[in-house]
Amino acid sequence: MRYLWFLLLLLPWVLSPFPYYLTLLNFFALSAMVALSLYVLTGLAGMTSFAQAAFMGMGAYATALVTLKLGLSPWLGLLAGLGSAFLLALLLGGLTVRLKGHFLPLSTIAWQVALYILAGNLVGLTGGHTGLTDLPPLGLFGIPLDTGLRYAFLTLFLLALLILALYNLRHSRIGRALLALRGDALAAASFGVDPAALRLKAFLLSGTIAGLAGFLYAHFLRFVNPTPFSLEASIKYLVMAVAGGVGSIPGVLLGAAFFTGLEDWLKDLLPLFLGRQGNYETIGYGLILALILILAPKGLWPLVERYLPSRDPGLPQGEPLSLRSPDGPRGEVVLEARGLQKSFGGLLAVAGVSFSLKRGEILALIGPNGAGKSTTFNLVAGALLPDRGQVYLFGQEITGLPPHRIHALGLGRTFQHPHLFPELTVLENAALGTHSRTRAGFFQALLGLSRKEEEQALATAYRALVRVGLESLALEKAERLSVGQQRLLEIARVLASGAEVLLLDEPGAGLRAQEKRELASLLRSLVREGYTVLIVDHDMDLIMGLADRVVVMNYGEKIAEGSPKEVQRNPLVRAAYLGEEEVA
Ligand code: ADP
Ligand code: MG
């Protein structure tokens, strides 16, 4: 299927008698590259940029200066172009990827506008609004690429390579991690994904792709001025990507094709219809965009895709990693919390709680709603920073480490409200667990060098699904799972991560009685194999039949510890639970 894209390369021949369409084809290829840069940034990483045209501008002006002012080869111009787009992305990304919500898009607008003004005003360097003319044509193997036909071969070839590389990226651990990050940064981080670093890398890749498009643009027109690198242009690319469907590669290509043709067509036709001259195409363009966004909020591609035969990715064939590392002696302390304390404003949510967890046991942390269980749990897993106290994992202090570092040491968690990625398949959700057990970086992923590792990751995920009994749903979207199945999937994801210590936050909540029994027997069989489980719940019935030891919390304090029988008899515990029932 993906080799089909190489058929694009035949298009220039077909269109060769029509120079106008060859020009359009080149513009399509360049727009498609920029739209693909937004696929990386928005579709995969969930960020929005209004500065893609500025990155193009970096690529275009860099090569113009290198070739015209320094008289060097355009290929050095390419290096300079990619380099300067990369540097701009590093600067902009370094400053902004940690920003939340609207601040990232807003700051990209600011940079875009500033750079545009700069390009128009540094007249000595950039030629101001008149621009720089007579850039040399690109040449390959001694052939100057100075016609629309020759240039189209280059742009389409590079576009095809880019599509292939991004397809590879999407189907790698990096692509999965980016999608996970977009869905839920905390959940992604708890499986070893470093959110800030990954977002920055996506930003760098995206900026560099746009820079490449800018370089090609400059040598196609052999002329640069600020206009094509304005905020308006940036918005145009964003519109293409979003209207086509920014969540998929065919979507952004469709958007690029549709809007490249549309704009020109409207420019020619509208004055004919309306009988007078004017910039009506902008209005027409706006109306069509509004219609698309109303009728197809996820873009045009999902509408088209419905009519295409669906591809079955098949089950993984690779050799799975083992689900768990060889264990140490049972009964040894694996996790210890000492005097943990945390307040939120004036509320003391956890007030000096200590406990230890021994290998091969199920320790339950129970207490009425609001007792501070989840907070304690988050302090242990690194999702919250304690005000006081320490946490030790396998004897090593982990207090204050970020979740992705703690995870790497062998601790996996689930969430009180399942944090899954509804648009990914069950298998891909589980495969996120393998993130910190696999290695491929951006480059290997783009070049398709991580396929073997990826097969292994998927096979490991599948093995974990088998372990919890979800294998028959492996290829379904996670959004189709019931609550009980979602909780099992979260456990499978932790198993796929190779974690030895499992922290489960209210795994029984929302389950039917039968599902609770199945969950209990799954957890019991896991500890028999050598896993260690810390389970947080307020469901006494589930805990009493399951836990080896119980720690009871109320109002942030530990009020009892012992076997299920002991704590059940404890008057303090009874009072705490009766108190809750009276309120309820
Ligand atoms: P549990 O899991 O035992 O039901 P939590 O640990 O979720 O209890 O909450 C303990 C107390 O801390 C509650 O009173 C809750 O409202 C409060 N709390 C929890 N998280 C936050 C937060 N992020 N900000 C402010 N208050 C919080
Ligand atoms: Mg809770």
Q: Which ligand is nearest to the CA of 554?
A: 1
The residue among 535 and 8 whose pLDDT is bigger is 535
- Ligand 1, closest atom to CA 345? 25
Which residue's CA is minimally distant from atom 26 of ligand 1? Answer: 344
Please give the pLDDT value at position 583.
41
Task: Check pLDDT > 90 for residue 165.
Answer: yes
Tokens standing for residue 32: 């498609």
Q: How confident is the model at residue 584 (pLDDT cuts 50, 70, 90)?
A: very low
Tell which residue, 536, 571, 186, 535, has the closest CA to residue 369.
536
Residues 6+ apart with CB under 8 A from 506: 374, 416, 536, 537, 538, 539
The residue-averaged pLDDT of 275-293 equals 76
Say if ligand 1 is within 6 A of residue 123 CB: no
Residues forming beta bridges with residue 364, ordered by sequence position? 535, 550
Say if ligand 1 is within 6 A of residue 369 CB: yes
The residue-averaged pLDDT of 219-234 equals 92
Task: Check pLDDT > 90 for residue 3.
Answer: no
- Ligand 1, closest atom to CA 367? 3
Q: Which ligand is nearest to the CA of 353?
A: 1
Q: How confident is the model at residue 580 (pLDDT cuts 50, 70, 90)?
A: low
Residues forming beta bridges with residue 557, ordered by sequence position? 554
**Percentage of residues in the chain having pLDDT higher than 70:** 96
The residue-averaged pLDDT of 384-406 equals 93
Tell which residue, 250, 313, 240, 248, has the closest CA to residue 44.
248
Task: Check pLDDT > 80 for residue 223.
Answer: yes
The residue-averaged pLDDT of 507-535 equals 91
The CA distance from 218 to 87, in Å, is 19
Which residue's CA is minimally distant from atom 14 of ligand 1? Answer: 370
Taking only the tens place, the pLDDT of each residue in 73-103 is 999 999 999 999 999 999 999 888 777 777 8
Please give the pLDDT value at position 474.
92
Which residue's CA is minimally distant from atom 19 of ligand 1? Answer: 375
Say if ligand 1 is within 6 A of residue 367 CB: yes
CA angle 546, 550, 554 (to 5 degrees): 130
Answer yes or no: CATH 3.40.50.300 is held by domain 332-410+503-512+533-577: yes
Tokens standing for residue 551: 């720690």
Please give the pLDDT value at position 342.
97
Which residue's CA is minimally distant from atom 15 of ligand 1? Answer: 370
Which residue's CA is minimally distant from atom 6 of ligand 1? Answer: 372
Q: How far does residue 190's CA lie from ligand 2's centre (Å)?
A: 17
Please give the pLDDT value at position 456.
93
**Percentage of residues in the chain having pLDDT higher than 90:** 57
Say if ligand 1 is within 6 A of residue 372 CB: yes
Q: How far does residue 465's CA lie from ligand 1's centre (Å)?
A: 32
Task: Check pLDDT > 90 for residue 182.
Answer: no
Task: Check pLDDT > 60 for residue 555.
Answer: yes
Q: What is the 3-state secondary structure (H, E, C) of 191-208?
A: CCCCHHHHHHHHHHHHHH
Which residue's CA is minimally distant from atom 12 of ligand 1? Answer: 349
Q: How far does residue 479's CA lie from ligand 1's centre (Å)?
A: 27
Say if ligand 1 is within 6 A of residue 302 CB: no
Say if ligand 1 is within 6 A of residue 349 CB: yes
- Model pTM score: 0.86
The CA distance from 421 to 177, in Å, is 11
Taking only the tens place, the pLDDT of each residue in 479-503 is 999 999 999 999 999 999 999 999 9
**Residue ranges of the domains in the chain?**
2-228, 332-410+503-512+533-577
Say if ligand 1 is within 6 A of residue 344 CB: yes
Taking only the tens place, the pLDDT of each residue in 138-163 is 988 888 888 888 899 999 999 999 99
Lowest mean pLDDT among 35-39, 423-427, 579-583: 579-583
- Ligand 1, closest atom to CA 368? 3
Residue of 342, 343, 344 to test ligand 1 pocket, by largest number of atoms within 8 Å of CB: 344
Task: From residue 572, give the alpha-carbon distance in Å to each of 253, 352, 537, 575.
Answer: 65, 18, 18, 5
Which residue's CA is minimally distant from atom 7 of ligand 1? Answer: 374
- Ligand 1, closest atom to CA 372? 6
Residue of 186, 340, 341, 347 to test ligand 1 pocket, by largest number of atoms within 8 Å of CB: 347
Say if ligand 1 is within 6 A of residue 373 CB: yes
Lowest mean pLDDT among 12-21, 59-68, 105-114, 512-521: 12-21
Taking only the tens place, the pLDDT of each residue in 240-252 is 999 999 999 999 9
Task: From residue 42, give the alpha-carbon distance in Å to each of 33, 349, 561.
Answer: 14, 37, 49
Say if ligand 1 is within 6 A of residue 438 CB: no
The CA distance from 489 to 522, in Å, is 13
Q: Which ligand is nearest to the CA of 350?
A: 1
Average pLDDT of the chain is: 89
Q: How far does residue 555's CA lie from ligand 1's centre (Å)?
A: 10
Taking only the tens place, the pLDDT of each residue in 432-443 is 999 988 888 899
Taking only the tens place, the pLDDT of each residue in 14-59 is 888 888 889 999 999 999 999 999 999 999 998 989 999 999 999 9
Taking only the tens place, the pLDDT of each residue in 294-328 is 888 888 898 888 888 877 777 888 888 877 765 67
Task: Check pLDDT > 80 for residue 127.
Answer: yes
Q: How far does residue 187's CA lie from ligand 1's centre (Å)?
A: 19
Question: Side chain identity at 301, as an amino acid letter?
Answer: W
